Amino acid sequence: MFASEHTRLVNRFIGLCKDTIKWPNILHQLGYSVELIEQTINLKNAAKVHPDIVAFSQKHLHAIVADCKSGKNIDTDQDSRYTKLESDDLKYFITTYDPKRLKHVVCYVDTDHNHDSLKSFTKLSFVTFGDEVVQGERDFGYDELNKSLCRPISLNKMLEPTSYYPFSPDDDQSVIAPHILRGLISYLTHKGQKIRPQIKSPTTAVEILKIIHPYDIMSSKHKDQLIKTIEDVLQIFLNSNKEFNDQVTKIEKGEFNIATFRSLVKICEDMIKEFESQKKITDVF
């Protein structure tokens, strides 16, 4: 099983803001970087919006507020609230040398499979990913961005990004598990013999999240959701895998020697292979 379409859309859009040759970097070329992920933004009329991504270009003093849509409809109340979003509402979250000149655009990020249905619900802009191209539609606020984005941009021979935003709390646990295991290995390797990690502690879930997710630009609420998800998955590992549980218990009792460390890392690596083989089997069928 692969990541949800929503998670894939988040990764694809973030990829546009990254300096990479493996995925179109059209937004990066215009100076955009991702500033916020899953941040609730309060509006002046006391309403709220909850975009998936806010990208900002200091060069153009312009923000792109993006909401990823994997379904076939748009909530009309949500759409109405997005139309009321003002650039002033973003100034509390974006650091810029000239806040008074800050401008923004709201767009939906979707796939071409659902695009015709979605655009009938709104007058806002779109960034639409197809199998072969990505393309913006409608006005994005200024000519250079419109000219760059509102044309077919080839995805041919491109490598879809998957690690900028590895998973959301709503993704299947078979998708989430390998990321958590890799994060745990990195955490244990970093700790080494210096500090005995308490793997069952919430602190460990936080450390894993910092390793595998863009921690610094996520909202506090979203961090809490992901930390809880990591804690739940680690508990499943402890309950379902005796070898994993035995090695963790040894470590937490103070038996954190090199043999125990290597054994736990090997168990994690074997579990990753098992999850990934299941992913391939699911894909085949």
Both tokens of 12, joined, read 């694809």
In 3D, which of 213, 116, 122 has the Cα closest to residue 162? 213
Phi/psi of residue 211, each to 5°?
A: -75, -40
Residue 199 pLDDT = 84
Phi/psi of residue 195, each to 5°?
A: -130, 130
Distance in angstroms (rounded) separating the CA atoms of residues 9 and 201: 32
How many Cα atoms sit within 13 Å of 284 on the Cβ side?
A: 6
Distance in angstroms (rounded) separating the CA atoms of residues 253 and 121: 58
Question: What are the distances in angstroms from CA 225 to CA 160, 170, 174?
Answer: 26, 10, 17
Q: What is the distance, to the nearest Å, from the Cα of residue 172 to the centroid of all Cα atoms in its chain?
A: 15
**Predicted confidence (pLDDT) per residue in 156-212, tens digit:** 999 999 999 999 999 998 899 999 999 999 998 876 545 567 788 888 999 999 999
**Predicted confidence (pLDDT) per residue in 16-32, tens digit:** 999 999 999 999 999 99
Residue 204 pLDDT = 92
Report mean pLDDT in 10-residue bins for the chain, 285 residues: 91 97 96 97 92 98 98 94 96 92 98 95 97 98 98 97 94 94 90 65 92 96 96 95 93 80 93 82 39
**CB-based contact 102:90 (threshold 8 Å):** yes
Distance in angstroms (rounded) separating the CA atoms of residues 84 and 141: 16
Residue 63 pLDDT = 98
Q: What is the largest CA-CA distance in the chain?
A: 63
Residue 189 pLDDT = 84
Both tokens of 167, joined, read 């998973």
Specify the pTM. 0.92
Distance in angstroms (rounded) separating the CA atoms of residues 39 and 89: 12
Sort residue 251 into left (φ over 0), alpha (ψ -120 to 50) or beta: alpha
Which architecture, in CATH terms, is 5-154?
A: 3-Layer(aba) Sandwich (3.40)
Distance in angstroms (rounded) separating the CA atoms of residues 87 and 101: 9
Phi/psi of residue 107, each to 5°?
A: -140, 155
Residue 254 pLDDT = 79
